[in-house]
Amino acid sequence: MKLHSKITVLTLSAIVLAGCNAKYETIGNGLYINEAAPSDRFTQQVVNITVEGEATTTIHLRLAQALDTDVHATLAIAPEFMEEYNAKNDASYVTLPVECVELPSEVVIPAGSISSEPVEIVIKDIPTDDGYAYCLPIKIASSDAPVEIMEVSGRLIYLITTPLIQTVPTMDSSTFPEGSGDWNLSTNAWTLEGWVWMGSFPINNQAIFNGAVSAGTEIYIRFGDADVPYDVLQIKTHGSQFNSNTVFEPATWYHIAFVCGNNKCILYVNGQQDASMDLSSTDYVIENLQLCSSGSYFRTNCKMAQVRFWSRALSQNAIQDAMNREVPGTSEGLIGYWKLNEGSGDIYHDSSPNGRNLTCQQTPDWTGEMVNFSNPNASAE
Read off the pLDDT of residues 295-333 as tens digits, 9 standing for 90 and up.
Answer: 899 999 999 999 999 999 999 999 998 999 999 999 999
Mean pLDDT of the chain: 88
Q: Using the predicted structure, report yes or no on whether residue 39 has a pLDDT greater than 80.
A: no
Of 318, 324, 326, 337, the C-alpha closest to 378 is: 324
Tell me, what amino acid is at 6?
Answer: K
Burial of residue 214 (CB within 10 Å: 0-12, 13-18, 19+) is middle
Query: ∠ at Cα 99 (97, 101), nearest 5°?
Result: 85
Give mean pLDDT, residues 230-249.
96
What is the reported pTM? 0.85
Residue 90 confidence class, pLDDT cut points 50, 70, 90? confident
CATH number of 165-380: 2.60.120.200
The CATH superfamily assigned to 4-161 is hypothetical protein (bacova_03559) (2.60.40.1740)
Query: ∠ at Cα 100 (99, 102), nearest 5°?
Result: 85
pLDDT: is 363 or 212 the higher one?
363
Question: Where, residue-wise, is CATH 2.60.120.200 in the chain?
Answer: 165-380
Question: Where, residue-wise, is CATH 2.60.40.1740 in the chain?
Answer: 4-161
pLDDT: is 353 or 82 the higher one?
353
Of 264, 234, 248, the C-alpha closest to 198 is: 248
Strand partners, 68: none
Would you say 116 and 60 are in contact if contact means Cβ atoms under 8 Å apart?
yes
- Please name the residues in contact with 369: beta carbons below 8 A apart, sequence gap of 6 or more: 167, 168
Residue 5 confidence class, pLDDT cut points 50, 70, 90? low
Task: Check residue 350 and report its DSSP letter.
Answer: B
